[in-house]
């Protein structure tokens, strides 16, 4: 390696490390705050952990509805993930493989909906859910989150890339659409389904805006919404708040550590970097 190249690599490594530090610092600060006592939080500017206690965690677990929110979050995330992947896969398969009138228009609508920011739809969705009496209901939380054009687009790209002879071979072998999709196309690349499931799960787990709007009952809140309820009569209890935040982030962190490569791949696939 030439000296210039070595310097270039070192500079790039240092810059990447600095960027990583900027990203990791809030998580670190949350953790450090969560292991301090509430009295020691205010005005404490020490970066290093000067105290280690789990009172805030125990407090969060036993004196808030954290476990209920956890169950709600897991339930919502699993249901939405399964439904999003299944519906989007079927939709993409139809758009890619079945010839029917209006196919292009339908795909145009899917692409169009991808370009509309979710926030612009919130009022309409809220009014609709209200008219359907779905505020403060599981259906109200789940239904609007099932719209995932990016998953449809990724699946369609994948189905489009499968050679048409593969489909024809199954047809000649006596298989129908179910066989083509579930016994041949999907097993060709489980990576796509895994990636889409991970991205959807993380997205739903972290979703705050919609669940915050549609749920007012504390018993139906998901973790990100529940965090807003972690205060006491004297105001915000920062250590406890940070402990809940740490526990809320835990599944995502664990998922990331276990499926690190898959998550990176999923983000690349859904952002169009990798097809």
Which residues contribute to the site for other proteins (CB under 8 A)?
Answer: 163, 165-166, 168-175, 179, 184, 187-188
Can you say whether residue 105 is alpha, beta or left, with left for phi > 0 and alpha for psi between -120 and 50 degrees? alpha
In angstroms, what is the minimal distance from the CB of 197 to other proteins? 19
Q: What six digits make up the tokens of 193? A: 């389904």
In angstroms, what is the minimal distance from the CB of 158 to other proteins? 14
Q: Which is nearer to other proteins, 36 or 167 (CB)?
A: 167
In angstroms, what is the minimal distance from the CB of 190 to other proteins? 9
- Assign 3-state DSSP to the chain and report helix, strand, coil percentages, each to 5: 75, 0, 20
Separation in Å, CA 151 to CA 32, 77, 93, 100, 202: 37, 15, 12, 21, 14
Is the sign of the CA dihedral 32, 37, 40, 41 positive or negative? positive
Q: Which is nearer to other proteins, 130 or 161 (CB)?
A: 161
Q: What six digits make up the tokens of 81? A: 């993930």
Number of H helices, E strands in the chain: 15, 2
Q: Which is nearer to other proteins, 172 or 257 (CB)?
A: 172
Q: Which is nearer to other proteins, 14 or 171 (CB)?
A: 171
In angstroms, what is the minimal distance from the CB of 163 to other proteins? 6
Q: Which is nearer to other proteins, 68 or 186 (CB)?
A: 186
In angstroms, what is the minimal distance from the CB of 155 to other proteins? 17
Residues ≥6 apart with Cβ < 8 Å to 191? 262, 265
């Amino acid at each position: 390696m030439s000296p210039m190249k070595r310097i270039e690599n070192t500079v790039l490594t240092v810059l990447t490390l600095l960027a990583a530090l900027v990203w990791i610092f809030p998580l670190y600060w949350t953790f450090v705050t969560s292991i301090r006592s509430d009295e020691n939080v205010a005005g404490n500017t020490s970066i290093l952990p000067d105290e280690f206690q789990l009172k805030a965690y125990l407090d969060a677990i036993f004196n808030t509805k954290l476990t209920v929110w956890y169950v709600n979050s897991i339930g919502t995330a699993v249901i939405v993930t399964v439904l999003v992947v299944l519906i989007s896969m079927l939709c993409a398969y139809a758009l890619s493989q079945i010839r029917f009138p209006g196919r292009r228009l339908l795909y145009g609508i899917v692409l169009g909906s991808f370009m509309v920011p979710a926030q612009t739809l919130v009022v309409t969705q809220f009014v609709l859910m209200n008219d359907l009496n779905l505020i403060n209901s599981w259906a109200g939380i789940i239904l609007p989150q099932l719209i995932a054009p990016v998953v449809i687009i990724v699946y369609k790209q994948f189905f489009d890339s499968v050679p048409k002879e593969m489909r024809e071979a199954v047809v000649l072998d006596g298989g129908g659409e179910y066989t083509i999709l579930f016994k041949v196309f999907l097993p060709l690349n489980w990576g796509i389904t895994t990636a889409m499931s991970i991205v959807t799960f993380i997205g739903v787990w972290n979703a705050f805006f919609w669940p915050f709007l549609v749920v007012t009952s504390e018993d139906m809140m998901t973790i990100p919404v529940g965090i807003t309820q972690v205060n006491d009569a004297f105001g915000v209890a920062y250590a406890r708040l940070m402990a809940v935040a740490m526990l809320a982030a835990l599944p995502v962190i664990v998922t990331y550590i276990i499926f690190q490569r898959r998550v990176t791949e999923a983000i690349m696939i859904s952002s169009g970097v990798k097809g």
